[in-house]
Structure 1
Amino acid sequence: MSDDNNNNEIVRKSDGIHREIHTFVLRQGHFTASERKAYEEMHDQFCLPYSEEKLDFEKIFGNKNPVVVEIGFGMGKATAIIASENPNINYIGIEVHKPGVGKLLGEIRDRGLKNLRIIEYDAMEVLKNQLTDQSVSAFHIFFPDPWQKKRHFKRRLIQRPRTDLMTQKLIKGGYLYFVTDWLPYAEFGMEQLLATEGLKNRYQGYAPHQEWRPETRFEQKGLDANRVISELMFEKS
């Protein structure tokens, strides 16, 4: 693992080129007709381009409301519901899966949401280069890839130094909310979050289910397979 100043591990391949270890893999997927239509029609209005300039939240949303960043929103249904039920909070969803982006853009259109934007890029690069320190009220990370094989643990999103970077971006009192249906990842994540300087567990152990977080179809599949849903909520002290 790289030192704490780097959020993704840098590796040297045999060709001498340095490449970062990513926390995601680009999944192949096909747009439905409705997802493609929403992507083409809504992308320029609601997707923020990646750049190395810091985002101005007040300029983007037209207000000074708190900003919550969700990393890896999948198909975006829960994201849209949460944003719809909390109009006084602004949301930025980060996702690399184009059909999921198209699906959430459709939800934004159908629900008339004004408080939600999308960045279609590597979340760690977005955090490092686009988010100002002490600017984010919360990070939502729901059911990220658990990377079950030991040799892939380095790809897990919830681990230092990635959690150090998230803490750096949080405001004082801001929180990181992590949910997984893979118990070994929950245990691993608990160790990593407890070791992250500046974070403290809001509960004695795992968090109770937060009633405002909608259950997703993916979550139901985990429950149907008798997997335990573990929730962790840490706040910046």
Structure 2
Amino acid sequence: MAEPGTRRQAPVSFVRRGGRMSDAQERAWRELAPTYVHDVPRDAAHTSVHPDARFIPEEEYGRSAPLVVEIGSGQGHAIIHASTTRRDVDFLAVEVYHGGLARTMLEAYKADVTNLRLIEANAPEVLETLLPEGSADEIWIFFPDPWHKKRHHKRRMISPGFGRIAGRALRDGGVLRLATDWEDYALQMREVLDAEPEFQRAFAGDWAERFEGRVMTAFERKGIDKGRDIRDLAYTRVPR
């Protein structure tokens, strides 16, 4: 928990989930983290980002290439698929679920992935300070925590002001892609981003077409099985 007077003042948009990890996941942290995990200098809390810390893509990946950032990568299904099929692109997974990051590392190792890095941190702080301004070509936010109880809606990541945070990290013309299976959150996302001066719609009609780069996951299938419609959105970063 942050001490009084420290940097973290806004509510975080997640519940930190630890839990007991399997032996394989523990081994992944010992053996694979030095290769895949960017060690973030902390500030007020375990998942915070020190305001002076920086993630320099060219230094991390050893090359200059397009960068795709996935916020809330879960167990890594989408980003592992993407990083194995698009080797000319660099990928960054941002997640606070320790076990999910371990699973992602294991799958990355099995697939001999070299164009992927992982960060365990609060996503808004990564976008707001850790990444260089305009460094990301795309930001993906697939099925973020909907905080479905009305009293918890204030914790939703996509809320007024998010355009400034995401827009800072995206290059001009970069794309913000979102998906959710909660109708009221989809409506909120669209309302918020339609009003943000940093973004303009990259779709016609009510919703974007399903992003072909988003693989079907067990999480998405679960939502479909419960009768929920999956809604995609896509926005382009307007020129600064």
Shared fold, TM over 0.5? yes
Which is worse superposed, 123-132 or 100-109? 123-132
Letter in 1 for 2:192: Q
Q: Distance in 1 between matches of 2:17 and 2:53?
A: 28
State the 1:191 CA deviation.
0.1
Letter in 1 for 2:182: W
Return closer, same or farther for 1:28/1:61 CA change in 2, 3 Å cut-off. Answer: closer
In structure 2, the partner of 1:220 is 221
RMSD: 1.7
Q: Distance in 2 between matches of 1:65 and 1:138?
A: 12
Query: Aligned runs of 1:37-76 on 2, under 5 Å?
Result: 37-51=27-41, 52-76=52-76
Q: Distance in 2 between matches of 1:126 and 1:169?
A: 9
State the 1:16 CA deviation.
7.9
Q: Distance in 1 between matches of 2:140 and 2:187?
A: 18
State whether structure 2 residue 198 is matched by structure 1 residue 198.
Answer: yes
1:184-226 alpha-carbon deviations (Å, 9 max, x no partner): 1000100001011121111123111122210100000001001
Letter in 2 for 1:176: L
Q: Distance in 1 between matches of 2:160 and 2:108?
A: 33
Letter in 1 for 2:92: I
Are the equivalent residues in 2 in contact too, given 1:137–1:175 (CA < 8 A)?
yes
State whether structure 2 residue 34 is matched by structure 1 residue 33.
Answer: no
How many percent of aligned residue pairs carry the same amino acid? 32
Which is worse superposed, 218-227 or 157-166? 157-166
Gaps of 5+ in 1: 1-12
SS at structure 2 position matched to 1:177: strand
In structure 2, the partner of 1:3 is none
1:89-134 alpha-carbon deviations (Å, 9 max, x no partner): 1011011111001000101110110100001111112222211111
SS at structure 2 position matched to 1:20: coil
Letter in 2 for 1:34: A
In structure 1, the partner of 2:211 is 210
SS at structure 2 position matched to 1:158: coil
State the 1:27 CA deviation.
2.0
Query: Aligned runs of 1:10-29 on 2, under 5 Å?
Result: 19-29=9-19
Query: Aligned runs of 1:103-122 on 2, under 5 Å?
Result: 103-122=103-122
SS at structure 1 position matched to 2:32: helix
Q: Distance in 1 between matches of 2:214 and 2:39?
A: 28
Q: Distance in 2 between matches of 1:82 and 1:157?
A: 23
TM-score w.r.t. length of structure 2 = 0.89
State the 1:162 CA deviation.
2.1
Q: Distance in 2 between matches of 1:29 and 1:233?
A: 34
TM-score w.r.t. length of structure 1 = 0.90
State the 1:40 CA deviation.
1.6
Letter in 2 for 1:154: K
Are the equivalent residues in 2 in contact too, given 1:50–1:126 (CA < 8 A)?
no
SS at structure 2 position matched to 1:185: helix
Are the equivalent residues in 1 in contact too, given 2:83–2:89 (CA < 8 A)?
yes
SS at structure 2 position matched to 1:138: strand
1:70-102 alpha-carbon deviations (Å, 9 max, x no partner): 111111122101111111110110111110010
Aligned residues: 224
Letter in 1 for 2:99: P
